[in-house]
Amino acid sequence: MTQLPLQPIEPTEPVGLAEPPGQPQTPLGRLAATLPGFRRLRASGTALPLGLGLLGFLVLISVTSPLWTPYAPGATGTGLFSAPPSGAHWFGTDSVGSDVFSRTVAAGRTDVLYTLTVVALALLVGSVWGALVGFFGGWLEWATLRLLEVLQAFPALLMALFIISIVGPGTFKVILVAAIIPLPDFVRLARAEVLTKKNWQFAEAARMVGNRPAVVLFKHLVPNSSRPLLAYASVSAAWVVGNIAALGYIGLGIQPDAVEWGSMIARGQSDVVSGAWWESFFPGIGILLLAIGFQLVGDGLSSRNRGEHR
């Protein structure tokens, strides 16, 4: 009896979430992944709620800080200069007598706001751009991939410094430059998702009923490709927190007089040698906690997507 060759069966439902290999991860994520406690946290499925709880706590205290912090973040002479932590000043004071606790909490509001703005901009532009590239291909795909190779050939912070040195500092300019840094990863991930799913049966069915290509792309393919992008957006936010702090540290941040964690670290670094460690230590803890929160949320979403894919 002659056996007919077996034909591969394509998936019929858009439930899989294809994640391209080599998805970028923050240095914090790579370090945390080597810790046994973090692996147990990932396996238990508590990374997502823990990350959301940490982010919610940071956002809550930073947004409501004007209502309960003892001093205005810009106030000077609230106590002795460079005084250590005490009952009157929980995080001590800096070189001009400003309350470090009030400034640290208020700076969290600035960093959270601009981090979310940068990630939302990169996610929106990168998703649409990558979806168009993956769907239509051709010269658009070739030109996009060559441009992304050029952008990713330079270290991220070095490229940001180069662009800001040309266009100058400013709120809008810094947000735009900070959004360019993670943009190639979003474009590549969206392209991979649409490239994987555009020949699945749900997309073919949408074409067969007469939908235009734009409808197939943005009504069917993009929604079914969004969850890996959202997971990576949270991971990318941990990078953005560090980039914004680094720009503020070297004086190219949002605004020269803005209360921001990076500029606070730079302001207190000269006093660390004399023993005033608290001026830079507590803003650094704020950066670390915010990055950990975003990393936990991103890892939790990725683990959930991989579980549903299996």
* Domains of the chain, each with CATH number or no CATH: 27-78+88-309 (1.10.3720.10)
Unique residue bearing structure tokens 């990350």: 51
Residues of the chain scoring pLDDT < 70:
1-44, 256-257, 306-310
Does residue 206 contact residue 220 with C-beta atoms inside 8 Å?
yes
Whether this model's pTM surpasses 0.85: no
Res 276: pLDDT: 87
Closest C-alpha to 196, from 138, 139, 135, 129: 135
One-letter amino acid of 78: T
Q: What is the predicted pLDDT for the residue at 1?
A: 44
Q: Which of 42, 272, 236, 93 is nearest to 156 (CA)?
A: 236
> Angle at Cα 73 formed by Cα 67 and Cα 75, nearest 5°?
115
Residues pairing with 99 in the sheet: 93
Residue 98 CB: number of other CB atoms within 10 A?
25
Pair 282, 270: CB distance under 8 Å: no
What DSSP state is assigned to residue 216? I
Q: Residue 118, CB half-sphere, CA atoms under 13 Å: how many?
A: 31
Question: For the segment 167-193, what is each residue's pLDDT rounded down to a tens digit?
Answer: 777 788 888 989 999 999 999 999 999
> What is the structure's pLDDT at 78?
84
Report yes or no: 262 and 255 within 8 Å, Cβ to Cβ: no
What is the tens place of the pLDDT at every residue in 78-99?
Answer: 888 888 998 888 999 988 889 9
